[in-house]
Chains A and B, each alone.
Chain A
Amino acid sequence: EVQLLESGGGLVQPGGSLRLSCAASGFTFRNYAMTWVRQAPGKGLEWVSTMSISVDSTFYADSVKGRFTISRDNFRNTLYLQMDSLRAEDTAVYYCARDRVEFGGNSPQDYWGQGTLVTVSS
């Protein structure tokens, strides 16, 4: 059974940093691109970042480019999102999700974690 479990969320002051983790199990993690999607309170879904199976292929939304860094550890089957220079508008539930196509390129996300809440406030 595919499982994705996020952790690392919490309350952080504006300008601060936080690192989210997503522990994956039930599939061959290294064969799939992985994606972070966030959802501000009461709002819609916003794509944040995707990392392909190649560790040097990373993609970011303009809203987080230069502040967030996606990475993966294929030995620990874990996806990360390092978030720096956090702003109030980054407050959201952050979901980790698996891209549907094994060894694929751009594809939708077929498995999602339960999400972790990040609150940026003084």
Chain B
Amino acid sequence: EVQLVESGGGLVQPGGSLRLSCAGTGFTFSLYWMNWVRQVPGKGLEWVANIKQDGSEKYYVDSVKGRFTISRDNAKNSLYLQMNSLRAEDTAVYYCARDRGGADPYYMDVWGKGTTVTVSS
């Protein structure tokens, strides 16, 4: 069964850091672009970042540039999101999502259940 499982969420103070992880199983992880998408409870979806199959290309939404870093370890079938200088507005459920793109990112066909990040003092 194709599956993505996120971990690493929690409560952190403003200005703090957190590292999210996403483990992929049931598919060849290294063949896919991977994404992080977040959702404030009760609100819409916001794409955060993505990374190419070999990690050579990474893209971010403007609001997290310079603060968040996406990375992957294909040997461990894992995706990561290092979040620094966290703000209250980063509070959300963070989803890991597999992308069906090849040379470029496309749409997301497999999603994890999400991990909750709360930024509050």
Answer yes or no: do A and B interact: no
A residues adjacent to B (C-beta < 8 A): none
B residues adjacent to A (C-beta < 8 A): none
